[in-house]
Structure 1
Amino acid sequence: PYLAWRLLREQDRMRLFELHSTEIDVLRHRFHDAGRRVMIYAGDGFDGIKALLPPPPRRALVLIDPSFEDKRDYSRTLTCVEESLKRFANGTYAVWYPQVTRPESQRFPEQLKRLQDKNWLHLTLSVSNPPADGFGLYGSGMFILNPPYTLEASMKEALPWLVKTLGQDAGTQFKIESRGD
């Protein structure tokens, strides 16, 4: 969140939700001088986002970054995005998810695609082969609904560099899928 805050324009606002009590203190310390531009809420972002949509300027990026420690986070994320699109159809929604060998993670991108049949961008970055024992993170995915029109071109430049920089073995790769209006 700190990097995003540093990129905000003067008129932009940031709202952060954190469920874990120990992390709330870290966020509050990090943003103690941000003033009213950054508001931090202790609680569940899946529930809290409902009160914030649609935002007054009718423009927003909603980043959804659950821990996915609980298998229910996959279905809760899908429900959250689906309900958020009903409240604020033109918002940009970016959903991060882990690349792990769990079936929920493997199905997740296809489920997100079904929420909106047009105007999405799906990016994955695998930094290694999946672990032989089936446990552990080997990459990340980002699914963006209503992405900025320049994002795909930017990612076509950035992802090869990330593969070269972060790659750990022959399983290192990236993928870009998209569907436009």
Structure 2
Amino acid sequence: MRRANPDGRLKIYPGSPSFALSMMRAQDRLRLCELHSREVLRLRENFQACGRQVVVDAADGFAALKGLLPPPPRRALVLIDPPYEERRDYERVVLALKDSLQRFPGGSYLLWYPLLSKLETHELPPRLKRLPAAAWLHVSLRVRTPAADGFGMHGSGLFVINPPWTLQATLQESLPWLRQVLAVDAGAAFTLESQAP
């Protein structure tokens, strides 16, 4: 955030590709899939200076994932953060993860989802927990009480398959602080669950 807003004022909120790039090593590679043509152009423009370290595909990430796994180095973090504009996106993430685990069971997978009052949002975590994964971590951070009319996002959830062994301890330490700093009202809360092999 500081790199994107060097004057200290929040004007630019970098998306997940920028966050991923900021944590990459020189030998790491980033492959981005985007369906919307305007966003593809914007991503290519933003990552043009990265050369071959970043590849932007104008493609459906769910479909592209099948051809990309397993990756040649046999190590990868797959970030899935669809827009959830369509109800079927919830089904697609479950199917994509199930298929990906068959192709590349040792990979790490990070799925983002919005906390909404929709039924699909509430049904997603239990479905993810039933996937054939030896280890997973589920975290959600709610920043406000859900709206009475049921509209709007009130937080975010992450489901991590094959998480790094230090992630749970890091989240246990940082989630109380995040809840306090990001809280909009007294409904702010977090959950942290995990399963180990």
**Cα root mean square deviation, aligned:** 0.8
Any residues of structure 2 matched to 1:1-181 within 5 Å, and which? Answer: 1-116=17-132, 118-181=134-197
- Give 1:168's aligned amino acid: V
> Offset at 1:21?
1.2
After TM superposition, the runs of 4+ consecutive aligned structure 1 residues lying more than 2 A away are: none
> Separation in 2 of the partners of 1:18 and 1:117?
27
| 1:122-147 C-alpha deviation (Å, 9 max, x unpaired) | 00000001111001100100000100
> Separation in 2 of the partners of 1:62 and 1:23?
20
> Offset at 1:116?
2.6
Q: Normalized against structure 2, the TM-score is what?
A: 0.90
- Give 1:56's aligned amino acid: P
> Separation in 1 of the partners of 2:28 and 2:133?
29
> Separation in 1 of the partners of 2:155 and 2:132?
24
> Separation in 2 of the partners of 1:2 and 1:175?
26
> Offset at 1:117?
5.3
Q: Which has the higher contact order (CA 8 A, sep 6+)?
A: 1
> Offset at 1:69?
0.9
| 1:2-46 C-alpha deviation (Å, 9 max, x unpaired) | 121121111110000011111111111110100101000011000
Query: The residue matched to 2:153 in structure 1 has which SS?
Result: coil
- Give 1:41's aligned amino acid: D
> Separation in 2 of the partners of 1:126 and 1:162?
10
Query: The residue matched to 1:90 in structure 2 has which SS?
Result: coil
Percent identity of equivalent pairs:
51
Q: Normalized against structure 1, the TM-score is what?
A: 0.98
Query: The residue matched to 2:49 in structure 1 has which SS?
Result: coil
